[in-house]
Structure 1
């Protein structure tokens, strides 16, 4: 018997990362079939249980196109990790965006949600000591905005590993370049990505999000109802 909750197929790149595997988990909970894209050398987190695992390099265009065949949407949770290789952010946050966009276009995937970062594009910021990461993140965002895909960029604040008392955290949403600090648990970022995927009003928007127990609880759909024109390229 077909599961009445079953939805379409969602792919998640960067699925072995700390945010990526949580996106996979949350998508599975909502009834999506999930293709978890991870590098050949990546360890497999327990959180990927139940997803179809596909190992590939994001620079391998044909393999990426094949992995996205029949997929309705791609959540891009790739991100450079701290390393002595200062070219990492350029490779992961910018150049890998190009290959993922091209694969979406070639395989017919129209919907894409990108996990970026608060302060994306800002030059004078401590995070840029790690290979100008915020500059390359903004370039990746721009390429997505100009891609012709139905895009959403989610810019979370500082990412926390905590899984406790999540329901007590209120979310603060804003448009681009309106928040500069504060943090948010990765689990809540994953949920916001899935909420954005399910909200047509989120298409063409850059959405900044942080959380705090002191904030009033609000859903993304509520915030979108009160927002003005999307921030298209």
Structure 2
């Protein structure tokens, strides 16, 4: 990564995206964040982050947000509450992926969710029924990224909690495991994947090794 290139975050205003922004600035990385509203702009700028305004659902504004400084990698945690009935889980990420391809970005990390794709087997039927509309969108985003030609890492966290990092976050290629993990631990794993060639073109579940459901044996994925 060159000194003048940036890591671009979509979804940095809250949740895992905010934790990733915290972690990267703590590591003195150059970060550019796209925000849809001004609400957390001052906070992020106070951390030394270059903030650009843009809406993930608007192709032109996403492309505009990525212009300017060279971008080494994109991290997207876009998703969540529908805006005008339209979720950003697929469309917002599709727009980011397309813009990243246009901008010549090297690597794209997508934060998805356990229950998406082949990890559907990890969730009980009741949870699947509740989350189905979201998981369908997330799976479409994952597939779009895989087919984009970008170097990708897809990280599917388990149930998310907001407490401080435990340091017990682990990654696995085993799609059958489920559990919970703190958002700050997801952020650390995401940021470690940025610099890891081992994580290139992988789909990984993220859990806290001490907060597993039904303690199944599984193989940890090594980033080294």
Judge same fold: TM > 0.5, yes or no. Answer: yes
Check the 8 A contact 1:155/1:209 in 2, yes or no.
Answer: yes
Structure 1 counterpart SS, 2:143: helix
* Partner residue in 1 for 2:148: 147
Displacement, 1:214? 7.7
Displacement, 1:128? 4.4
Deviation track 1:102-123 (CA, whole Å, cap 9, x = no partner) reads 1011111121001111111339
* Partner residue in 2 for 1:74: 74
- Aligned counterparts of 1:153 and 1:184: Cα–Cα separation in 2: 16
Kindly report the root-mean-square deviation, in angstroms, between the aligned alpha carbons of the 2 structures. 2.8
The count of aligned residue pairs is 208
Structure 2 counterpart SS, 1:135: helix
Q: List alignment gaps of at least 5 residues for structure 1.
A: 1-5, 216-220, 226-233
Check the 8 A contact 1:176/1:206 in 2, yes or no.
Answer: no
* Partner residue in 2 for 1:15: 12
| 1:194-209 to 2 correspondences below 5 Å | 194-209=191-206
Q: TM-score, normalised by structure 2?
A: 0.81
Greater Cα offset, 195-204 or 128-137: 128-137
Displacement, 1:63? 2.7
Q: TM-score, normalised by structure 1?
A: 0.79
Displacement, 1:84? 9.8
Displacement, 1:31? 1.9
| 1:5-154 to 2 correspondences below 5 Å | 8-40=5-37, 42-44=39-41, 46=43, 49-69=47-67, 70-81=70-81, 87-88=85-86, 91-121=87-117, 122=120, 124-126=125-127, 128-130=129-131, 132-154=133-155
Check the 8 A contact 1:170/1:214 in 2, yes or no.
Answer: no
* Partner residue in 2 for 1:223: 222
